[in-house]
Amino acid sequence: MSLLEVEGLDAGYGPVTVVRDAAFSVDEGKVMTILGANGAGKTTTLRALSGVVRASGSIRFDGQDIAGSSPEAIVRLGIAHVPEGRGNFASLTVEENLRLGAYVRKDAKAVREDMERCYEHFPRLRERSEQAAGNLSGGEQQMLSIARGLMLRPRLILLDEPSHGLSPLITREVFKILETVAREEGTTLLIVEQNANLVLGFADHAYVLETGRVVLDGSAEEIANDEGVRRSYLGMA
Amino acid sequence: MERFIQLLIDGVAIGSVYGALALSLVLIFRSTGIVNFAQGEMAMFSTFIAWALAEAGLTLGLALLGALAISFAGGMLIQRLVIRPVEGEDPLTILIVTLGLFILVNSLAGWIWGFNNRAFPQALPGGNADIGGVSLAYESLGIVAVLLVVVGLLFALFERTKIGLAMRAAAANPASSRLVGISVGRTLMLGWGLAALIGAIAGALVAPQLFLDVNFMGGVLVYSFAAATLGGFDSPKGAVIGGWIIGVAETLAGDYIGFIGSDLTILVPLVIILGVLLVRPNGLFGSPEVVRA
């Protein structure tokens, strides 16, 4: 059984339905990516999974139906959502942001160890631990938001455009750390990314979303070699 | 000189009352962007509760504690029942709701307790302390001490506890707060409860000097607005220091500037509000949004 199984998912904002009848699944310990053009419903899909937007249909996480649950309840099951635009607490310090990532955890000692681990992954954050998050550079803010997600010690982490606004160098650095997390800690990753080249080289499996529907589904390798995908998302003829 | 120091301390004392009520305003403004015009009336109501409990035979200490507890619960209830339904509406709507709350609380107090003046018992010791040849009222010193304790406890709550961190997080970024598992609705309720509690303390501190009636916090609210504006509407530190500056300015102006006397002291906060808005709209300690893209 997959860790996450989605069937017949409709999601949207108020009267507007953005995602229609989407179906996909994510296996535990794997890296999954959802590709698609702007407006295809990638972000909305992640928001439906974390309970931020209206969702109907079936979302089963570890066998439990979470469609329609509140974000506060879903995070307690071990799903971390690192939103687009990073979602940091700008007026709070870096360290406070990390502590908030572990807000629902009760194991104070392990939280401190995880904080240490985050600082090892992202030494820049340690240097700036007492600074307000709003004063960090764009790359540092992105690292902070990913680190905040990891502080939950999640079973599944939803990442929305982790490379957004980052230089190629920092992007590679961030993806290297994500790879470490996935391989060494067995965390399941679901990544939405514009940079298809980058993410297909790293994911196990990929889905292609078009106007709210899953139109293609396969191993990352198959998807990367698909003619249509190459033309539309990889910029190759 | 002795007279000057006495005035200074009296000014800081009355300024501490303004600072306390300004703190309640700031607590709510910081977490929700709402300016609660009913804050003074809520404090008036709380003070009446303390008075009524004392009249019913409780010792003054118990009556005050009871009033604080009831105010805390009442503040949370008001947030849940009156404010939450209009959350996210445009600011004018919320402003009208808090004005409605102002009238509602004021009328309710009049309906329950009538419109007469009442003497409110003083919980702080009477008499004067002689410090370096200057005779200072225990009452004034006590008021300042109470405010400092309140500020200390608030600081500890916000900086040292998990629930305090959650409250700051919910104020900074409600959407992300929910994603990390914070129940934002509950932190907002808690904020209103705390604000009501601190307002009740302000009311109980100032009531013995004024007479207790349904309008007695009206003037205090104007001074507290001045304090919050001067200090910066999103800065607790600013609320307290703003309160002190307003209190001292009011006391000194009343004594040293002939035409102001005791009748025109209300001019002082109005002039300060106007001046701050013209020169430094964010106040002394208020923060303009600083976010690097």
Whether B114 maps to a domain, the answer reads yes
Please tell me the distance from the alpha carbon of residue B121 to that of residue B50, in angstroms, as a whole number: 10
pLDDT at B90: 87
Q: What are B9's two structure tokens?
A: 């301390």
Rounded to the nearest angstrom, the gap between the alpha carbon of residue B73 and the centroid of all alpha carbons in its chain is 17
Mean pLDDT, range A31-53, rounded to an integer? 89
pLDDT at B253: 87
Helix (H) or strand (E) holding A225: helix A220-225
Residues of A contacting chain B (CB within 8 angstroms) = 50, 52, 70-72, 75-76, 80-81, 83, 87-92, 96, 99-101, 103-104, 132, 134-138, 141, 148, 152
User: What is the value of ipTM here, to two decimals?
Assistant: 0.90
CB–CB of A12/A54 below 8 Å?
Answer: yes
Q: Annotate B142-167 with three-state secondary structure.
A: HHHHHHHHHHHHHHHHHHHCHHHHHH
Whether B194 maps to a domain, the answer reads yes
pLDDT at B184: 92
Whose tokens are 């803010």? That residue is A141
Nearest C-alpha neighbor of B70 from the set B195, B196, B213, B207: B196
Q: Name the residue in chain B with its Cα closest to that of A158.
A: B179
**Distance from the B95 Cα atom to the nearest Cα atom in chain A, whole angstroms:** 26
**Distance from the A43 Cα atom to the nearest Cα atom in chain B, whole angstroms:** 15
B218 lies in which domain range? Answer: 2-279
Q: Is B181 on the interface with A (CB under 8 A)?
A: yes
Q: Is B88 on the interface with A (CB under 8 A)?
A: no
pLDDT digits (tens, 9 = 90+) for A191-222: 998 888 888 888 899 998 888 788 888 888 88
pLDDT at B42: 97
pLDDT at B292: 47
Interface test with A, best of B161, B176, B182, B184 (most A CBs within 10 A): B176
Mean pLDDT, range B43-54, rounded to an integer? 96
Residues of A with Cβ-Cβ distance to B290 under 8 angstroms:
90, 132, 134-135
Q: What is the pTM of this model?
A: 0.88
Whether B174 maps to a domain, the answer reads yes
Q: How confident is the model at residue A235 (pLDDT cuts 50, 70, 90)?
A: low
Whether B143 maps to a domain, the answer reads yes
List all residues 6 or more positions away from A208 whose beta carbon is below 8 Å from its beta carbon: A34, A35, A36, A214, A215, A216, A217, A223, A229, A233
Q: What are B175's two structure tokens?
A: 């959407």
Expressed in angstroms, the distance from the first to the final Cα of chain B is 53
pLDDT digits (tens, 9 = 90+) for A152-176: 999 999 999 988 878 888 888 888 8
Whether B286 maps to a domain, the answer reads no
Residues of A with Cβ-Cβ distance to B182 under 8 angstroms:
72, 100, 103
CB–CB of A21/A10 below 8 Å?
Answer: yes
Please tell me the distance from the alpha carbon of residue B256 to that of residue B4, in angstroms, as a whole number: 10
Rounded to the nearest angstrom, the gap between the alpha carbon of residue B147 and the centroid of all alpha carbons in its chain is 10
pLDDT at B157: 95
Cβ contact B168–A91 (<8 Å): yes
Whether B293 maps to a domain, the answer reads no
Please tell me the distance from the alpha carbon of residue A134 to that of residue A90, in angstroms, as a whole number: 4
Mean pLDDT, range B189-197, rounded to an integer? 96
Whether B153 maps to a domain, the answer reads yes
**Amino acid at position B189, single letter:** M
pLDDT digits (tens, 9 = 90+) for B71-107: 999 999 999 999 999 988 888 999 999 999 999 999 9
Cβ contact B292–A152 (<8 Å): no
Q: Give me the CATH number covering residue B81.
A: 1.10.3470
Q: How many domains does chain B have?
A: 1
Helix (H) or strand (E) holding A56: strand A54-61
Cβ contact A76–B181 (<8 Å): yes
Mean pLDDT of chain A: 89
**Amino acid at position B75, single letter:** G
Q: Residue B116: helix, strand or coil by DSSP?
A: coil
pLDDT digits (tens, 9 = 90+) for A101-130: 999 999 999 999 999 999 998 999 999 999
pLDDT at B8: 92
Q: What are A59's two structure tokens?
A: 């979302």
Nearest C-alpha neighbor of A233 from the set A210, A205, A214: A210
Whether B184 maps to a domain, the answer reads yes
B265, pLDDT greater than 90: no
**Distance from the B226 Cα atom to the nearest Cα atom in chain A, whole angstroms:** 25
Q: Which alpha helices (H) appear in B36-83, and where do they start and end? A: 39-55, 60-78
DSSP state of B212: B
